Amino acid sequence: MNNIGMREYNISKCIKIFLTGNVWWPFGSHGLHTLMRLHASYKSNCDKFLYFNNDHPGYSLFDNKISNYYKNISDSIDTSTTEFLSNNNEIQPSHNKNYIITLEIKNDKDFFIKNLEIYTHDKFFEEFAIGDIKLNELNLAECARRLEPSDKVNAIVNKMHFTKQIDHLNGNYIAAHVRWTDKVIGRSQEGIKHEPEEYLRYVFDLSEKFNTKSLVLNCDNIDAVNEFKKINKKLGYNLDIIYDEEEILPTDDWKNSLFQRWQYGNDALSDKKASDIELQNDIINGFKIYKSFMGCKAMIGCTSSAMYKLPFILRDNENDIDLDHPNENMIQRKSKFALQQWHLADMTIRKKGSEEINSLKNKK
C-alpha cells in the first residue's frame, strides 16, 4: 500500500518547450520570423511551441494577447505550467531571445527546469542555419495552420467591403502585391521598383489562362493604384481592378510609410508619428491581404517584400510569380533557401535616405 503510494507520489513527466515572444511587428515579417521559430522547434523535437508576451507596440491592443490575433500560434498547455514559466525570472522571451526548455513536472504541480537553452537573435540564426532552410524542408501545411487568424480577427476582416468583393469572386481572380514607398527608396530600401507594365503583362497572361478579368490589387500607395488603372486602360487589358477603397493609402513617398513613421516617429517624423491603433489596423489589414492571396488562382509580386513572400512560400504554387526572380522554375524554387533575406538594397539610395532623415532632424 505504502509502496503504491510512493510510486504515485514520484510520478513525473518531461516536456520540451520552444518559447518565444514579441516576434517583430509588420505582418509579413512577423509571419516569416514565426516560420523560422516553428522550424527550429520541429528541428529540436520540441513537444510544445509557445508564444509568450505581447508588449511590442504593434500588438499593444487586443487585450495584449497574441492569441487574440492568431488562433493556433501557441500549443495548448495547462495554466499552472504557463504561470510557472511566466513567473520565472530566468525566462524573458522576446524577438531577440528565444528559449528551449526541458521541463520536469512532478505530480502535475511541482516544476523543475532540467535544461535551459537561450538563443539570442544572432545565435538563433546561426545555430539553426535559418538562411539554409529550403522550401521543401518546411512543413507548409502546419505553418499555415499556425498563422490562421482568430475568430476575433476573422469577424473584423469578413465585415470589410473589400473582403466581401473578393468572396463574391469565388477564388476566380489574380492577386497582385505592389509595395513601393520605403521598400524601393529611402533609408530602408530592400528591393527594386517593378513598373505596372511588367506586372500587368504577367497578370494578363494569367487572366487568360484562368479565364478571369478580375485583378485584386493589394497596394501600399494610391499613386500605384492610379498608375495601374491608367496602364490597364492604355494597353487595352480591360482588367477589372479591385482594391480596398476604404483603406487610407498614402502617396508614393517613403516618409509616408507606416513603418517609417513608427521607427522615426519620435524625432524626424514626429508630426506623423504612428499611433497604436494604426499599428493594430495594419495587422488586421495584413490578415485581409493574406486572405486575398491564399484564395486566388495565382498571384504576382516581389519576395523582397515579406507581405508577399509569406503567402508565396506557403502556397508553393507553380502559377505564382516572383518578379525578383521571374524565370525561376519550381525545381529551383523548392531547392533554394526559402527564408533567406534577399537584400537587393541599393546602398547609395539608402545613404540618400539616411541623409534625408538627418536633414529632417536638423530642421526640428
Where do the domains of the chain lie?
2-132, 151-363
Sign of CA dihedral 105, 107, 110, 112: negative
Q: What is the pLDDT of residue 270?
A: 56
Q: What is the pLDDT of residue 342?
A: 60
**Residues 234, 328 contacting (CB under 8 angstroms):** no
* Low-confidence spans in the chain with pLDDT less than 70: 1-10, 265-271, 341-343, 364
The set of cell numbers assigned to 23 is 516576434
DSSP 38-89: HHHHHHTT-SEEEEE---SGGGSSGGG-GGGTBSSSS----HHHHHHHHH-T
As a CATH number, domain 151-363 is: 3.40.50
Residue 74's φ and ψ, nearest 5 degrees, are -115, 145
**Residues 334, 243 contacting (CB under 8 angstroms):** no
C-alpha distances in Å from residue 92, one per residue of 9, 51, 70, 97, 188: 31, 12, 21, 7, 29
* pTM (whole model) above 0.85: yes
**Residues 179, 190 contacting (CB under 8 angstroms):** no
Q: What is the pLDDT of residue 2?
A: 43
- For residue 15, the cross-strand partners are 103
Nearest CA-CA partner of 306 in 24, 20, 22, 31: 31
**Residues 171, 163 contacting (CB under 8 angstroms):** no
**Grid cell 489589414 in the structure block, residue:** 285
Helix (H) or strand (E) holding 98: strand 97-106
Distance CA 209, CA 240 (A): 16
C-alpha distances in Å from residue 326, one per residue of 150, 202, 301, 319: 34, 10, 10, 11
According to DSSP, the β-strands at 240-242 and 12-21 are unpaired
Intra-chain end-to-end CA distance of the chain, in Å = 80
**Residues 122, 95 contacting (CB under 8 angstroms):** no
151-159 vs 161-168: helix crossing angle, rounded to 10: 80
SS3 336: coil
261 class by beta-carbon count within 10 Å (0-12 exposed, 13-18 middle, 19+ buried): buried
SS3 242: strand
**Residues 239, 232 contacting (CB under 8 angstroms):** yes
